[in-house]
Amino acid sequence: ILNVEQSPQSLHVQEGDSTNFTCSFPSSNFYALHWYRWETAKSPEALFVMTLNGDEKKKGRISATLNTKEGYSYLYIKGSQPEDSATYLCAFGSGGSNYKLTFGKGTLLTVNP
């Protein structure tokens, strides 16, 4: 059983605050690490897919880093806005012929205006 841990479980910040949360995953058999943004009543939307140790990706105010050797990824949001409120899911892609994503439980971010 693959263990993908996300912390914190939930987070409340004020508009304009910068924040970050963590995804921990097995450091063996790594293939890819995905981040998804999931708003209530909508389907998950891909933010980043990272495959190389040391990868850093950015999309607007959101960025992510990857450390495959120690098995963690950070997601950063700069200057949080109320529309950033969502659950942020990470998913660990294990390698081999059976490519499979194992999701964490997510971090619920609430940005208060």
Interface of this chain with another protein, residues 70 to 99, rule: CB under 8 A: 89, 93, 97-99
Q: Residue from 59, 61, 69, 100 that binds another protein (CB under 8 A)? A: 100
- If one asks whether residue 29 binds another protein (CB under 8 A), the answer comes out as no
**Beta strands in the chain, from DSSP E residues, in sequence order:** 5-7, 10-14, 19-24, 30-38, 45-50, 56-59, 62-67, 72-77, 86-94, 100-103, 107-112
User: Residues 6 or more apart from 51 whose CB is under 8 A from it?
Assistant: 31, 32, 33
Cβ nearer to another protein, comparing 17 with 57: 57
Nearer residue to another protein within complex by CB, 12 or 100: 100
Alpha-carbon distance 27 to 62, whole Å?
Answer: 24
Q: Is 37 an interacting residue with respect to another protein (CB under 8 A)?
A: no
Applying CB under 8 A, among 40, 42, 83, 113 the residue interacting with another protein is 42
Footprint on this chain of another protein (rule: CB under 8 A):
31-32, 34, 36, 42-46, 49, 89, 93, 97-106
